Amino acid sequence: MDMLWYHWMILGLVLGLLELMITSFYVVWFALGALLVGLVLLVYPIGMTAQIVLWTLASIAMTVLWFKVFRQNDKTRSGTADAALGEFGVMAHAVEPMGRGEVRFQKPVMGSDTWPCVSDEAIGAGQRVKVVAVDGQLLRVGKS
């Protein structure tokens, strides 16, 4: 039994709803692939084997394009500890000497917009700070 165009559309919608529930950002490409096959079937009838091959290739191509081409531009200000050095942030929670606080950045630094921090001086919440060093999982900050 061949699948009709609306079967693929329904599959695409179900996969899209599944993506909304699990938020993995992988299932969406299979949903879009199913919708593409449904659109192709509206214009040109193809056999079941060709439908499955088209769905598989379209899904893989969209996944590869997203993660290799479009998403690689998202890597700004993340990754290594050197990316955090010299960054400016705002104290979300005050820090006392030899105590811990929390600094918030406008753009994510090393994959997060908030980081636990330490300081050699007391810095109140809301004050602007600069990252002067990275100590393991803690940022060392100073007044800017």
Quick: pLDDT tens for 20-71: 998 778 899 999 999 999 999 999 999 999 999 999 999 999 998 888 887 6
3-class secondary structure per residue, 32-86:
HHHHHHHHHHHHCCCCHHHHHHHHHHHHHHHHHHHHHHHHHHHHCCCCCHHHCCC
Handedness of CA 55, 61, 65, 66 (dihedral sign): positive
Claim: this prediction has a pTM higher than 0.95:
no
Backbone φ, ψ for residue 97 (5° rounding): -55, 135
What's residue 33's pLDDT? 96
Q: What rounded mean pLDDT belongs to the chain? A: 88
pLDDT tens sequence across 78-92:
456 677 788 899 999
Mean pLDDT is highest, among 20-24, 106-110, 126-130, for: 126-130
Summarize the confidence of residues 133-141 as an average pLDDT. 87
**How far apart, in whole angstroms, are the C-alpha atoms of residue 26 and residue 74?**
17
Domains of the chain (ranges; CATH) run 5-74 (no CATH), 81-143 (2.40.50.140)
Is 77 a residue whose pLDDT tops 60? no
First to last CA, the chain: 69
